């Protein structure tokens, strides 16, 4: 049997083409995930820099200014230092729980970003239960903190983990009731549908005006879920040394540090999506695109503008959160639990009852 050389070359070319298509398909599927992770990383570095600058301004002192222009590389320098520091493990602790705890806290928060609509048709996964997926996954993070506290074989760390679990349970319920009220107004649990429902009446269609009490309860509950001052009881330095992260060092401590800012960013994004209209704003995109003569790139232009608007609203709320941290003192544990169970829970239940009644009467 004689095979022509050209046929062999064609076969090799065909196999190379098929392998190239497979590689291209893998890159095409994984590129949205890579873009999302890159954007989250840059946002976290920006939040760390903003917090240091804002806190320096509030306390009338000089913030980071030598590491990079205006000190923007300070967070990157700190992360590099933590990456090369030694990881110490308690001799009598549970090594598996001690090592797994920080990873659970970070991974559970990162998954929540998949349901955030950053712009028009720019969402990684449009699920029918998007908002409750975030609530379900965010409740896993305190389990990682509890595992870390128990695995450290330290009474202060264990108390910090218990406080994190108690705080999460206390404020998860009002948070879920506020989200349920928004879902009733939008007739959907999808984050994309909630944003679209607010775009019908422009600026006045935001849920902020229809759910003012729910907005306040959601902000307070989200700050408590992020364990930010005045709700940072799980890591109270005066009482628990540093709480669940007392025995941690190196990159494991860095994971807790990253998880706190990831949680703050995702909470701010959900405030934007649920109450501030997401990527919608009263700007006529068609007139703007015609003015700049970019009608052919209309879809890309709308997506970029939507991402910019979403991030602008998100960082506005981040400014409020950072200012609150450096303004208010820390609560006691009894005050924290009383606020959650005796005030926020009845208010959120009443808000849900009023929302349900108004929806029934409108039918």
pLDDT, one tens digit per residue, over 40-99 is 888 888 888 888 888 888 888 888 888 878 888 888 888 888 888 888 788 787 888 888
Sequence-separated (6 or more) residues with CB below 8 Å from residue 215: 207, 208, 275
Q: Is the pLDDT of residue 360 over 60?
A: yes
pLDDT, one tens digit per residue, over 113-138 is 888 888 777 787 778 888 888 888 88
Q: What is the pLDDT of residue 284?
A: 46
Q: What is the pLDDT of residue 39?
A: 81
Q: What is the pLDDT of residue 353?
A: 92
Sequence-separated (6 or more) residues with CB below 8 Å from residue 123: 115, 116, 117, 191, 192
Map residue 12 onto helix, strand or coil.
Answer: helix
Q: Cβ distance 259 to 180 under 8 Å?
A: no
| Mean residue pLDDT across the chain | 81
Per-residue pLDDT band at 292 (split at 50, 70, 90): very low
Give the C-alpha distances (Å, rounded to integers) separating 67 from 6, 41, 55, 64: 60, 18, 17, 7
Query: Rg of the chain over CA atoms, in angstroms?
Result: 24
Q: Of 180-184, 185-189, 344-348, 352-356, which gets the smallest average pLDDT?
A: 185-189
Taking residues 301-327, report their average pLDDT. Answer: 86
Residue 337 tokens read as: 């639990």
Q: Is the pLDDT of residue 288 over 80?
A: no
Q: Is the pLDDT of residue 31 over 80?
A: no
Map residue 119 onto helix, strand or coil.
Answer: strand
Q: Mind spelling out the 3-state secondary structure of 310-326?
A: HHHHHHHHHHHHHHHHC
Q: Cβ distance 244 to 157 under 8 Å?
A: yes
| Comparison of pLDDT for 19 and 268, the residue scoring more | 268
Q: Cβ distance 98 to 148 under 8 Å?
A: yes
> Distance (Å, rounded) from C-alpha 77 to C-alpha 209?
42
Sequence-separated (6 or more) residues with CB below 8 Å from residue 219: 271, 317, 320
Percentage with pLDDT > 70 across the chain: 86
Per-residue pLDDT band at 294 (split at 50, 70, 90): very low
The sign one gets for the Cα dihedral 6, 12, 15, 21 is negative
Q: Taking the CB of residue 346, how many other CB atoms lie within 10 A of it? A: 11
Q: How far is residue 49 CA from its own chain's centroid?
A: 17
Domain spans, the chain: 1-84, 87-362
- Residue 119 forms beta bridges with which residues? 122
């Amino acid at each position: 049997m004689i095979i022509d050389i050209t046929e062999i070359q064609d076969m090799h070319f065909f196999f190379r083409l098929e392998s190239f298509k497979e590689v291209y398909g893998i890159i095409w599927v994984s590129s949205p995930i890579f873009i999302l992770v890159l954007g989250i990383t840059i946002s976290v570095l920006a939040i760390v820099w903003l917090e240091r600058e804002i806190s320096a301004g509030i306390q009338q002192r000089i913030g980071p200014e030598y590491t990079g222009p205006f000190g923007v590389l300070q967070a990157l320098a700190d992360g590099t230092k933590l990456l090369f520091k030694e990881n110490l493990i308690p001799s009598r602790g549970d090594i598996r729980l001690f090592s797994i705890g920080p990873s659970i806290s970070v991974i559970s928060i990162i998954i929540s970003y998949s349901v955030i609509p950053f712009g028009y048709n720019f969402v990684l996964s449009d699920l029918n239960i998007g908002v409750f997926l975030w609530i379900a996954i965010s409740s896993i993070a305190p389990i990682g903190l509890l595992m870390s506290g128990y695995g450290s074989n330290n009474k202060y760390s264990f108390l910090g983990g218990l406080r994190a679990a108690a705080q999460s349970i206390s404020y998860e319920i009002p948070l879920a009731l506020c989200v349920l009220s928004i879902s009733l107004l939008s007739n959907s649990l999808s984050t994309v549908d909630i944003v679209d429902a607010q775009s019908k009446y422009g600026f006045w269609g935001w849920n902020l005006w229809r759910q003012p009490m729910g907005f306040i309860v959601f902000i307070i509950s989200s700050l408590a879920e992020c364990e930010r001052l005045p709700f940072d009881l799980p890591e109270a330095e005066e009482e628990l040394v540093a709480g669940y992260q007392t025995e941690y060092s190196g990159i494991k401590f860095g994971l807790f540090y990253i998880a706190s800012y990831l949680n703050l960013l995702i909470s701010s994004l959900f405030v934007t999506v649920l109450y501030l209209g997401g990527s919608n704003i009263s700007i006529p995109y068609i007139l703007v695109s015609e003015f700049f003569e970019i009608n052919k790139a209309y879809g890309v232009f709308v997506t970029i503008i939507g991402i910019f608007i979403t991030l602008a609203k998100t960082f506005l709320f981040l400014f409020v959160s950072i200012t609150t941290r450096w303004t208010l003192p820390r609560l006691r544990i009894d005050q924290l639990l009383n606020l959650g169970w005796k005030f926020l829970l009845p208010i959120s239940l009443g808000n849900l009852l009023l929302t349900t009644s108004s929806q029934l009467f409108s039918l």
